Amino acid sequence: MRCIFCLRCVVSAFLQTPFEIILRALHTGPCSNISGTEWTKPSGFDTGLKVFNSLTKQKEPLILAREGVATWYSCGPTVYDHAHLGHACSYVRFDIVQRILSKLFGITVIHAMVITDIDDKIIKRSWEENICSTVIASMYEEEFKRDMLSLKVIPPAVYLRVTENVPQIVAFIDRIIKNGHAYTTQEGDVYFDIKSIGERYGKFGGAADSQPEPGSHKRDARDFALWKKSKAGEPYWESPWGRGRPGWHIECSTIASTVFGSQLDIHSGGIDLAFPHHENEIAQSEAYHQCAQWANYFLHSGHLHLKGSVEKMSKSLKNYITIKDFLKSYSANEFRMFCLLTKYRSAIDYSDGSMLEARSSLESISSFIHDTQAYMKGQLQCAPVQEAFLWERLAEAKSSVLKALAEDFDTARAVSAVMSLVHHGNRQLQPVSKSGEGARSPAVFAAIVTYIRDVLDVFGIELLHTRVRVYDHSGSMEGVVEQLARFRSQVRAFALARHESATKPGLYPERIPLLTACDTLRNDLAPLGVILKVFGLCKQWPRVRGDYGVGLFFRSWILGSSP
């Protein structure tokens, strides 16, 4: 955008037609001394965090317009098919980033997301299925929202549908035309005039200007549709340019501006959206608001690929795994851990192998927490621990996690710091077979466990009520313990049988050693966390009850059995 005060803008204005000069002079905003695609550091409140800004392709200090509040707009899905793991990956990763901002750094994130419920692909699908496009869109929109909830993604403050914002979109386009940055065609289309913003176009790359194809009504091949005349049989809305529907990019500019006004702190989406979608959003929004920098930070997540595939997982390529199918084999926590193990910006390979790696990281943490609890309860006897050393490791982990997350949300580094803490904790928990009177250090383990849970909670992983399926793939430990308890109960019942002799009623003396052995087994199992108890008048064979923890030996299993 140009202003009428600086030499550069005035000179370049003289190169325009008189009409354009007047139009632009009437609609100028503040000159920001920005030329081309240069980024200006925003003024406002420095959070002390660094984020990788796609606008500058480097890490920048995160400065927010309002203290303690981040305005955040994200592009939502085009709802014409099932949500897949690519979507899951992008939205879970940004959910984690938003949780870090709010839960760790105390920033209130106001998040708005668009649902693209009108688009060429939705119309095509509705024709293929012979179902109205509104039905197709609402069906997949609901499914998307359900899937996000099942992945524990915190919903945005507001979801906005394109079809419910068409009057706002029409008004938005109208103003861009009046500001001299768009033109209408005889056919009833409206195009954005890329040349009108000169060197400001191309923040995320893009093609050089070129001649439009023969038969096209565009002035420049890069010009893109703001409004498309509807073809026969397509849904349409009335507009000053005739019946039609919004182009793809304009919905985001309009809806983000409707919610947040002329300025936005953060805008996010998958990396495929950087060009042309975000490039065009910027062009439109800055043309509408007549401002030099509409969104200050663009955060782009890397793509999820099926391992070995160069293509990203996508609806149009039909190479996807739906979220619902995925959740039949893995949990939401496991998917989160899978996402945490890489930076949100990196491409990520999906395979059973990478999921098992994520599962095993979670299991190591769960196992440590359960062992620690057994230790704190006195069920696990250990050699004396180096308490001061552990307090130091805890302080070190806290500082590393904070540093990693403040540096462009480096979750992989943060998880590695947590795993290192787990490793040191495990090394100190050296079980000894005999219960001794040695010094115990429950407080430091309680502090470590509390801290690990807090970090996981920031990431949206909650292990408290989770049954972890440690032994699913290697035989059921639960089953082994159950068999053992059953065998002991049978032996005990045999030992307790009384003989019928009238002269010497009572136990068979030769069976008493069996009773002693049963007692010894019960006592020996207790420090390992396996408690054998009677449940009321239960006459059935023992059943495993209570919580099935993890860890090879130490868990709080309560077995219904005669003591």
Ligand X SMILES: Nc1ncnc2c1ncn2[C@@H]1O[C@H](COP(=O)(O)OP(=O)(O)OP(=O)(O)O)[C@@H](O)[C@H]1O
Least separation in angstroms between residue 132's CB and Zn ion is 25
Residues 524, 178: Cα–Cα separation, whole Å? 84
- SS3 of 195-261: HHHHHHCCCCCCCCCCCCCCCCCCCCCCCCEEEEECCCCCCCECCCCCCEEECCCHHHHHHHHHHHC
Which residues contribute to the site for ligand X (CB under 6 A)? Answer: 75, 77-78, 86-87, 89-90, 121, 269-270, 272-273, 301, 303-304, 312-316
Bridge partners (DSSP) of residue 563 are: none
| Residue 202 touches which member of Zn ion, ligand X, none, C-beta under 5-8 Å by kind | none
Residue number with the smallest Cβ distance to ligand X? 270
| Residue 456 touches which member of Zn ion, ligand X, none, C-beta under 5-8 Å by kind | none
Q: Which amino acid is at 216?
A: S
Residues 279, 272: Cα–Cα separation, whole Å? 11
Least separation in angstroms between residue 77's CB and ligand X is 4
| Residue 121 touches which member of ligand X, Zn ion, none, C-beta under 5-8 Å by kind | ligand X
| Residue 530 touches which member of ligand X, Zn ion, none, C-beta under 5-8 Å by kind | none
Is residue 225 close enough to count as binding Zn ion by CB under 5 A?
no
Q: What are the two backbone dihedrals, phi and then psi, of residue 266, each rounded to the nearest 5 degrees?
A: -130, 140
| Residue 373 touches which member of ligand X, Zn ion, none, C-beta under 5-8 Å by kind | none
Q: What are the two backbone dihedrals, phi and then psi, of residue 269, each rounded to the nearest 5 degrees?
A: 170, 175
Least separation in angstroms between residue 293's CB and ligand X is 22
Least separation in angstroms between residue 248's CB and Zn ion is 8
Q: Which is nearer to Zn ion, 298 or 344 (CB)?
A: 298
DSSP structure string for 427-483: HH--B-SS-------HHHHHHHHHHHHHHHHHHT---TTPPP-TTTTS--HHHHHHH
**CA-CA distances (angstroms) from residue 392 to 40, 125, 139, 447?**
42, 59, 53, 12
Site pattern 439..458 for Zn ion (x: CB under 5 A): --------------------
| Residue 520 touches which member of Zn ion, ligand X, none, C-beta under 5-8 Å by kind | none
Q: Which amino acid is at 455?
A: V
| Residue 87 touches which member of Zn ion, ligand X, none, C-beta under 5-8 Å by kind | ligand X
Q: Which is nearer to ligand X, 98 or 290 (CB)?
A: 98
| Residue 339 touches which member of Zn ion, ligand X, none, C-beta under 5-8 Å by kind | none
Q: Which is nearer to ligand X, 299 or 429 (CB)?
A: 299
Least separation in angstroms between residue 313's CB and ligand X is 4
Q: What is the dihedral of CA 338, 344, 350, 355, to 10 degrees?
A: 0
Least separation in angstroms between residue 309's CB and ligand X is 10
| 246-285 binders of Zn ion (CB under 5 A) | 252
DSSP structure string for 344-395: TTS-EEE-HHHHHHHHHHHHHHHHHHHHHHHHHHTSS-BPPP-HHHHHHHHH
Q: Which is nearer to Zn ion, 136 or 162 (CB)?
A: 162
Least separation in angstroms between residue 155's CB and ligand X is 15
Least separation in angstroms between residue 299's CB and ligand X is 11
Site pattern 56..85 for Zn ion (x: CB under 5 A): -------------------x----------
Kind of pairing between the strands at 182-184 and 498-499: unpaired
Q: What are the two backbone dihedrals, phi and then psi, of residue 23, each rounded to the nearest 5 degrees?
A: -60, -45
Q: Which is nearer to Zn ion, 338 or 344 (CB)?
A: 344
Q: Which is nearer to ligand X, 241 or 344 (CB)?
A: 344
Whether the Cβ atoms of residue 361 and residue 419 lie closer than 8 Å to each other: yes
- Quick one: DSSP state of residue 67? T
Q: Which is nearer to ligand X, 316 or 435 (CB)?
A: 316
Least separation in angstroms between residue 78's CB and ligand X is 4
Q: Which is nearer to ligand X, 126 or 428 (CB)?
A: 126
| Residue 272 touches which member of ligand X, Zn ion, none, C-beta under 5-8 Å by kind | ligand X
Kind of pairing between the strands at 108-115 and 158-161: parallel
Q: Which is nearer to Zn ion, 298 or 335 (CB)?
A: 298
Least separation in angstroms between residue 80's CB and ligand X is 7
Q: What are the two backbone dihedrals, phi and then psi, of residue 32, each rounded to the nearest 5 degrees?
A: -100, 5
- Could you tell me how many residues of this chain bind Zn ion (CB under 5 A)? 2
| Residue 316 touches which member of ligand X, Zn ion, none, C-beta under 5-8 Å by kind | ligand X
Residues 466, 150: Cα–Cα separation, whole Å? 15
Q: Which is nearer to ligand X, 7 or 310 (CB)?
A: 310
| 281-340 binders of Zn ion (CB under 5 A) | none
Q: Omega of the bond prior to 212 within 30 degrees of 0, cis?
A: no
Least separation in angstroms between residue 264's CB and ligand X is 16
Q: Which is nearer to Zn ion, 116 or 489 (CB)?
A: 116
| Residue 314 touches which member of Zn ion, ligand X, none, C-beta under 5-8 Å by kind | ligand X
Least separation in angstroms between residue 74's CB and Zn ion is 8
Least separation in angstroms between residue 162's CB and Zn ion is 10
Q: Which is nearer to ligand X, 266 or 273 (CB)?
A: 273
Q: Using the structure block, give the residue that is written with the tokens 């202003």.
A: 3
Residues 333, 74: Cα–Cα separation, whole Å? 23
| Residue 126 touches which member of Zn ion, ligand X, none, C-beta under 5-8 Å by kind | none
Residues 394, 376: Cα–Cα separation, whole Å? 17
Q: Which is nearer to ligand X, 228 or 289 (CB)?
A: 228
Whether the Cβ atoms of residue 461 and residue 336 lie closer than 8 Å to each other: yes
Whether the Cβ atoms of residue 210 and residue 221 lie closer than 8 Å to each other: yes
Residues 263, 284: Cα–Cα separation, whole Å? 13
Structure tokens at 416: 């590695």
| Residue 252 touches which member of Zn ion, ligand X, none, C-beta under 5-8 Å by kind | Zn ion
Q: Which residues contact 344 (CB under 8 A, 6 or more apart)?
A: 93, 94, 96, 97, 299, 301, 302, 409, 411
Q: Which residues bind Zn ion (CB under 5 A)?
A: 75, 252
